[in-house]
Structure formats: structure tokens, C-alpha cells
A and B are shown apart, each in its own frame.
Chain A
């Protein structure tokens, strides 16, 4: 292992020296080395005598969970364990479903500053409906291992920027190829919803509010036009399919990609923070009859009625952000999930991180619990609730018979920063708990 790591480091140095050619070496430089390619051990596993936090049902204080064929075959206080099962003593340990972060750029952004070759987050131009995150995700990003060994097993990875950023992907943090990883390869269209922003630049005066509204309206018109164009395009296409005597419409990949989203067949994730912008989204969703999801959501609790009425869930990504206004309460974002819960809005807590710090997800949920959210809701906000929002709750988000076996075995409360992960399963595979970090640790921990 040492030898390999050294090779790795030499490559890393070359990478530094030949910055101009870094794109060629990037994939190697980012690779974790040997264990990266250990894709876990498939088989039948029984975790016994453990505290099982099913999330969907009651906690089983002393139970067994049986993992077979990638799925949870059984879970309960008394489960019959087949003789071929590998038995794991869970005494003193807790079992949780793998956590889910519904708002990341996982695999699209390795090193956010000074290494643009590793960044695949934003395409050129404003309208990029056909850009698909699943085709940009680097399965060998070191963020993936680092994140999963912290108990996060599934994420939404999104492109960002522009007006229509592209299509997001729901992935498991497992696999050698994008196909291995994909849970929902094209999940939701990401719309960077035009916002009223009076921000005039750093050190610059604010923009007059009415002027900011005017600018927003211009952007909103552009968005509406794109939706209209896609609608027209879809109609012409459909007509042609029914009647081939009509002229053959010219294919437009961007408009083509939008059709299922603007028709409400698949969801659209809208970015927004402020009430005024979220209210615009609610109106937009009502008008376009689309399936909306809000990501960001600083003031979403203030728009609770409209969100509920239109069944728009919120992916809240501001736990570890500073309040915006000086007069805001210090805990305004800490409290936001609790307010969303009280108002009955469907929500999930997400890091909104580009990948490296997605492993902080449990602590973000835990902090919400310190500020009014129930511990039960806090746990659900990073397991079952995001699974529901991502439309994968039939397979993920809780420990139930028949669901995919994304299972985390911990030394304690999964939301607590002191808690360690002891075993990790993704799709029923027992994963090695190694990452770029553990490898470097192993290499240097005993250096004299």
C-alpha cells in the first residue's frame, strides 16, 4: 500500500508541476489508490444484537437486520438468520439507513479553486436543459469515499448556474462507473430561478429595489420563453409522431430535454432563498402546472401555505450559513427546519456542498434538533424525507424489508460528531471504510 501511495504522490507532484497539462493527469491525481477500487463485498449479512433505528417505524432496541441480494431481507427483534450469513455482532452498536443529501455537486467539483480542470458544474450559456450531471460525475472522486465512510450513502448531484442549469442525478456513493452509481440518472431539471437581488457587488452600493425587480422580470421572461418554446416544440413533435405527413421537425436537444419537466412528468428543482422569490416560484409552478421543488429555502417557512397548497417540498441548504441581515436572529437558519416542520412543509436538510464537506450532513441535521426540531424529524430530514423528495422512498431512506440495503452501523447516535461508523453497506455490499484520508493517515500516523 505504501508503494502505491508513493506512486500516487509522485503523480501528484507531477500534477503540480505541469499545471498546464493537468487535465490529462487529473483523474489519476484524484484517484484514491488501491482501496478506491474495492467495491465492497457482496453476500448475506446479519447484524445481530444491535439497536436498530428503522426511521420509518419504532426503534428496535435489540434486533437483527438481514441483508441479502443487495436488499434488506428482514429486520426485527427476532429474525431467522440463514446459516450462510456472515454474522456481525452489533452489541452496543446502532443501525441506521444510509443518509441522503439531496443538494450537492458530488463528483462534479473536485477542487473548487485553482484547478478548473476538475470542475464540471456549469455549462456555457443560460439554457442548458440537456446537460446531465450523470455524464459529468467522476466516479473516482475522492469526495465519494470520504463522504460514504461518514454514513452518507446517496446524494443528489446537480449542475448549477445559468438560468436552466441542467439535469441532476440521484446516485449511490458506490461504483466504478456512472451507471453503477445511478439510482435515478436524470432526476430533476435544475432551474436557477431569477431572484430579486439588490446586491450591487462587493464594496458597491446596493441596487435600487425597483431596478432589481425589473432585472428579475427580464430574467423571468427569458425563463418563461424557454418553457413556451419547449411546449411548442413538444406539440410539434407529438403532432409529427401522429401524422408523418407533417414536416419533420428539426431536433433541438435543449428543448427536447425540457419536455418531461415542463409537462409535469418529472420534477423541477428551483433555487430560491427569499420569500419574495419563493412566492414567485409558487406562482410559476401554479401557472406552468409543473412539479416543483425548492432548494435553498432560507425564508421558505414564511411561504408555508403556498408551498403546502402546491405540494412543493423544500431542500434546505442553509444550516451552516450566516444570517443575511445584521438584524436577523443569530439562530434564524438553525431554527428554519423546525419552523418548516411546524408549518407542515415537506422538507429535507442538505449541505448544499460541492462534495468535500457533504459528510457534515448529520451535524447539520443535529444542529436543527438543538434549535427546536424533534430528534426524530432531524434524523428523517437526512434519510426518509430526502428519499421521498427524490422519489426513491420505495427503495431507500429507512430500514424496511424489501428496501435496498444502504445500511450504516455506528457506535452511537448517527447525528453526533463523536460517533464513528463501524460498518457500511451500499446496495447490500459491505464497504471497506477507507478513503483518501484513511490512507494518508495510515501512511503518516507512525512516522517518527
Chain B
């Protein structure tokens, strides 16, 4: 009798375990015999990668793994670093606080939605990490969140805790509200010109400086009354202190250049120029300032500001020594950043590994997380993608996506899941509560203020831009 129970346990364990280990376990994983695109040290053929405790433990040929290790045969397949999207608005319940010109007090972290299906679809396109940004309705927007797309995990697990904090800036027509006339009862917001935009930012910098001074005076005993803790100015003080990365949305070269100059006046280095559709026109100046640029590879002409961009943007910036990343700003485009990166090889002739960096190591650097991710090197987080072919090949497809050594997308598992979901659906539809016609009641409420598919200037639910 006892034996029967033990046997039963063993059988049931063995039934559960393979599934379980696929998503959950922290045991060793050995990826065997792949072409490994390291993004830093070239492509390694017939190479193994050993994953231990979520990290890349070894890279080499004929590696040995523990007896209980999960072995994945990747013969004929390619492994790349997980793709990093340096400009995304996915998994957000709200994108823009469009009321004020300066909304540095808002935090993207407050509005994360870990149930957004776009996360899973991004994983299926090999994306492991994203820079989730506030929209572009304000010269100074909200605080960003750098996340890894750990679909199925609690929202706290998404946050890359040691990523430096950042903030969104924006320039140009969105902050001028050119395409968003005030609604009835809403006053016309300052600024309405590029002149005013610069003044809003300058004013915020100065207010933050004075705010900091008031606290210093209080701490030094110069004043008695404790100043207010100002959630708007606090993050701007951090910018001035170099502790918060500025991701500055802009299209025209002149406005980006003006921002660089303004920042330099205050001793601030802008972390990234976002979009930078005309960044190629001022590539030497950007290189000198030390900002990175995060661009659409070739998306253009969707508005006047986007008429002067060229697909050679990446090449010119790269040639000038600027750190370039290619972003999506879209839940749809995010799924094919590998093809976007492939395009830069054609437009100007960026070498393959440099092109790959533009969706891996370069955005990691822009987000300040390159110590842990962005390339395949021993000691880094095991954020990896297995592809059926070279990721730049149009015929390639993602097989498996790892984050911190865990599998978050797997095409075989996806096929199983379809069957399971169908079964679950059949069972649920049979339930009384799901049968039509109902007798009233409530639909689940989804507290989202935004449209689904999005790109930079799709009108937002709350009347702003992304």
C-alpha cells in the first residue's frame, strides 16, 4: 500500500516537474551547440551556454552541467542577448498626465499593468527589457520605470531595482499641444512654441536649484521653518545632481541641440535623445555632449516633424561615435526590433555586431543596466533568446526567451498552452455564471486610460501623447 502511494507520488511529481521547471526553476540550464551572438565578442559557433542562478555561468564548447540540469539542444539555432526596447509605453494604465507642463511628480511605477497581453507578445519577439516612459505631452514628464518582462510574476518582480532612475522630457509639437486643442473649460497651456518649451525647462531647473537651496539652508540652520517636500521638484533636483537620467523626446535637430546646450549650462548630461529623427544633422554635437540617441529605425512622414528623418540616421550617429539604440514606442513594432536592427546594415553599412548592439548592449548602456544585461558574457543576467535562424534573417523566429535564466516564452509551451486554454474555455463557458443570457450584473472593469496599439503620437485616452 505504502509503495503504491510512493509510486503515485513519483509519477505525479514527474508529471508536474517538466512543466514546473520550464517556468519556475532556478536549476541549471545548458543551451547546447548554438551559434552565439555575444554582441561584444563576435559570433561563436557550436557553442554552449551554461545558466546558473539566473546568470550566465559559462560560455564554451562541450560544457558540463549538473545531472538535474535542463538541457536545450540548440543545434542549428542562434542565441542572442535579450532585446531591450529603450522606449515603450506597454503595460501602463495611464501614459500622460497632460494637465501641467511639468509633471515630474508622476511615476510610471504607479500605473504598471502586469496583465497586459502585450508583454507576452513582446517576449515572443525576443524582448526581455523595456524602458517604460511617460508620454510626451509635457516639456518635463513623469519618472520612468526600467522593467524586465517577467510575464506571470507579481509586478514587483518586473522592476530592475538597480537601474538608475530616469525621467521623460519632451520637445516639439506634442508639448506645444499643436494637435491637441484645449477641451471646453480647459485653458490654453503654456508653452505654445519651442521658445516657451525651453523656458519651461529652464524655469524648472532654476526652481529645483532654489528648492534645493532652501533645504540646504534649513539643514544648515539658516532657516527655522522646514521647507515643503515637493514631489515635483525633488526629481528635478536629482537631475541636477546627475542622479536621474533624462530621456528627452524630440524630433527636430535644433530643439534637441538647444536642450543639450541648456543642460550643459546646468552641468547636466542628457542620457538619451529619444526619437531624434533629425539627430543625424547634429551627430558631432551629440557625440561631444555624450548623449545617447534612441531612434525609430526608419519610421517617418507620419507628421511634419517626422518628414526629415532618414533610415541612415543610425549609421551617421554610429559613425560619429554616438551610442545608438533602436526602439519601438509601440506594442506592435516591439515584436520585430530584430528586423529593424537588420535594416541599419543596409542603410549606410553598419557592421552586424554593431547593429545587434543597437537593440541589446547600447540600450542597456542608455538605461544604465549594461553591467547586468545587454550582451552574452559570463556573469551577466541570463537574458537570452533562442532563434531558429540569425535574428537578422527575415525567416527567423523566436523559439525561447529567457529572463534571469527563467523561460518566459517558449514556442512549444505556447502550443501546449493553446490547447489548455481551449479546454479551460470550454469548462468556463459551461458554468452558469458565464451562460447567456444573463440577468444583469457587472462586467469586469479594466482601469486603463489608454488606447491599445500605440506609437509616439497616437492620441491617448487622456488627451495626450505618448
Please, how many angstroms separate the alpha-carbon atoms of A419 and B392 in the complex? 11
The segment out of A188-196, A325-333, A425-433 that lies at the interface is A325-333
Binding stretch for chain B, among A73-81, A82-90, A110-118, A220-228: A110-118
A322→B332 contact, CB < 8 A: yes
Instruction: Determine how close the nearest CB of chain B comes to the CB of A420; give it in whole angstroms.
Output: 5
The interface centre, meaning the residue of B124, B179, B283, B395 with most chain A CB atoms within 10 A of its CB, is B395
Contact yes or no, A330 B393, CB < 8 A: no
Contacts of A447 in B (CB 8 A): 281, 283-284
Question: A417 contacts B342, CB within 8 Å?
Answer: yes
A419 to B346: give the CA distance in the assembly, Å.
6
**Given A202-B451, A366-B395, A16-B304 contact (CB < 8 Å):** yes
> What mask results when residues 314 to 345 of chain B are scored 1 for a CB within 8 Å of chain A, else 0?
01100100000000000111011001001101
Q: Are A440 and B308 in contact (CB under 8 A)?
A: yes
Q: Does B48 contact A (CB under 8 A)?
A: no
B121 engages A417 (CB within 8 Å): no
A415 within 8 A of B: yes
Contacts of B304 in A (CB 8 A): 16, 111, 114-115
User: Once the chains bind, are A370 and B124 in contact (CB under 8 Å)?
Assistant: no
Nearest to A112 among chain B residues (CB) is B302
Report Cα–Cα, A415/B339, bound state, in Å: 11
Q: In this assembly, does B449 line the interface, its C-beta being within 8 Å of a C-beta of chain A? A: yes
Q: What bracket does the count of chain B residues touching chain A fall in? A: 35 or more
Chain A residues with CB under 8 Å of B283's CB are 444, 447
| A91 CA to B425 CA, complexed, in Å | 57
Is residue A284 contacting chain B, with contact meaning CB distance below 8 A?
no
Partner among B179, B301, B319 whose Cβ is within 8 Å of the Cβ of A356: B301
Among A12, A418, A438, residue most surrounded by chain B Cβ atoms (within 10 Å) = A418
- Report A355-377 CB contacts with B as 1/0, cut-off 8 Å: 11101001100110111000100
A445 within 8 Å of B by Cβ? yes
Residue among B173, B298, B461 making CB contact with A114, cutoff 8 Å: B173
B263-296 vs A, Cβ < 8 Å mask (1 yes, 0 no): 0000000000000000011011000000000000
Q: Does B117 contact A (CB under 8 A)?
A: yes
Q: Type the 1/0 row for A290-326, where 1 means its CB is closer than 8 Å to any CB of B.
A: 0000000000000000000000000000001111001
On whether the beta carbons of A437 and B302 are closer than 8 Å, the reply is no
Q: Please determine whether A113 and B124 come into contact, CB atoms closer than 8 angstroms.
A: no
A336 → chain B closest CB, angstroms: 15
Instruction: For the complex, give the distance between the alpha carbons of A355 and B307 in Å.
Output: 13
> How many whole Å from B57's CB to the nearest CB in chain A?
30
B303 at interface by CB-CB < 8 Å? yes
> How far is B120's CA from A326's CA once the two chains are assembled, in angstroms?
10
Decide yes or no whether B238 CB sits under 8 A from chain A. no
A205 in contact with B443 (CB, 8 Å): yes
**A112's contact among B303, B331, B418, by CB below 8 Å, is which?**
B303
Complex: chain B residue closest to A359, CB-CB: B298
Residue B178 is within 8 A (CB to CB) of chain A in the complex: yes
- CB of A330 within 8 A of CB of B179, answer no
Taking a contact as CB atoms under 8 Å apart, the answer to whether B396 and A417 are in contact is no
Which residue of chain B has the shortest Cβ distance to A29 in the bound complex?
B307
Q: Is B232 an interface residue (CB 8 A)?
A: no
B393's nearest neighbour on chain A, judged by CB, is A416
Contact A356 B284, CB 8 Å, known A205-B443, A370-B396? no
B307-A369 in contact (CB<8A): no
**Contact mask B373-402 → A, CB, 8 Å, 1/0?**
000000000000000100011111100000
Question: Any chain A CB within 8 A of the CB of B312?
Answer: yes
Please state if B452 and A417 are interface contacts (CB–CB under 8 Å): no
Residues from chain B with a CB closer than 8 A to the CB of A203 are 448-449, 461
B302 touches A113 (CB 8 A): yes
Q: For residue A9, give the distance in angstroms from its CB to the closest CB of chain B.
A: 9
CB pair A142 B332 closer than 8 Å: no
Q: Are B332 and A320 in contact (CB under 8 A)?
A: yes
Tell whether, in the assembled complex, residue B331 and residue A111 are in contact, meaning their CB atoms are under 8 Å apart.
no
In the complex, A380 has a CB within 8 A of chain B: no
Q: Which residues does chain B contribute within 8 Å of A321, judged by CB atoms?
A: 332, 453
Indicate if the CB atoms of B303 and A114 lie closer than 8 Å.
yes
In the assembled complex, which residues on chain B have CB atoms less than 8 Å from the CB atom of A436?
Answer: 310
Task: Select from chain A the residue with minimum beta-carbon distance to B316.
Answer: A445
**Bound complex: CA A355 to CA B300 (Å):** 10
- Interchain CB contact under 8 A, A142 and B316: no
Whole-angstrom CA separation of A330 from B388 in the bound complex: 17
The answer, yes or no, to whether B457 is at the interface (CB within 8 Å) is yes
Say whether, besides A113-B179, A322-B332, A440-B308, A415 and B302 are in contact (CB < 8 Å): no
* A residues lining the B interface (CB < 8 Å): 12, 16, 110-115, 142-143, 202-203, 205, 320-323, 326-327, 329-331, 355-357, 359, 362-363, 366-367, 369-371, 375, 413, 415-420, 436-438, 440-441, 444-445, 447-448
4 extra A-B contacts, CB within 8 A, seeds A114-B178, A356-B301, A363-B394: A111-B302, A113-B457, A203-B461, A447-B284
What are 28 A-B residue pairs whose CB atoms fall within 8 Å in the complex? A12-B307, A111-B301, A112-B303, A113-B457, A114-B173, A142-B301, A321-B332, A322-B331, A327-B421, A330-B120, A330-B124, A355-B301, A357-B299, A362-B394, A366-B394, A367-B339, A370-B397, A416-B394, A418-B346, A436-B310, A437-B312, A441-B348, A444-B280, A444-B283, A444-B316, A445-B316, A445-B319, A445-B348
7 closest cross-chain pairs (CB), A and B: A366-B394, A356-B301, A417-B342, A113-B303, A437-B310, A441-B312, A330-B124
